[in-house]
Amino acid sequence: MAGTLFTKIINREIPADIVYEDELSLAFRDINPQAPVHLLIIPKQEIPTINDIELNDRELVGHLFLVAKKLATEMGFAEDGYRVVMNCNESAGQTVFHIHLHLLAGKTLGWPPYTDRAKV
Ligand code: 5GP
């Protein structure tokens, strides 16, 4: 099997609780939720990190935000509030190298969002 973990989810080689799909993107529930609602919104195209986003990808990346807005509206927390985050590389905590928006909602979210982690 080739491709990232998330491509395997797109291809239904790994199960996931999928909440939305279109020709460009997929959204599913995070396996280790950090809020009552924790979705991952991914492009079907594999792009490892934010650093790999090219000019040609700008519509695709913008599309991910429109999906976030659509899901927030349809799930009923758009007005209450939510957070959209994309981690880039190790110091930000990225563990899956296929870009993804985290969509977090359903509680009052703390800010700043980080805890210091010792770098070894
Ligand atoms: P990152 O740390 O790269 O920003 O986020 C990766 C996210 O993917 C994490 O929140 C992690 O819980 C989630 N994740 C990792 N493996 C799986 C999986 O197999 N299924 C689902 N649904 N989420 C996963």
Q: Whose CA is nearest to atom 20 of ligand 1?
A: 31
The yes-or-no answer on residue 100 being catalytic is yes
Range(s) of the domain holding residue 57: 5-119
* For range 81-99, the mean pLDDT: 97
Ligand 1 atom closest to the Cα of residue 93 is 2
Please answer whether residues 69 and 78 qualify as being in contact, where contact means their C-beta atoms are separated by less than 8 angstroms. Answer: yes
Q: What was the pLDDT predicted at 100?
A: 98
pTM: 0.95
Ligand 1 atom closest to the Cα of residue 5 is 19
Angle at 120 between CA 93 and CA 5, to 5 degrees: 35
Q: How many domains does the chain have?
A: 1
- Alpha-carbon distance of 105 to 73, in angstroms, equals 12
Q: Whose CA is nearest to atom 12 of ligand 1?
A: 32
Q: What is the pLDDT of residues 28-61, one digit of tens each?
A: 999 999 999 999 999 999 999 999 999 999 999 9
- Name the nearest CA neighbour of 25 among 75, 60, 49, 74: 60
**What's 92's domain CATH number?**
3.30.428.10
Average pLDDT along the chain: 95
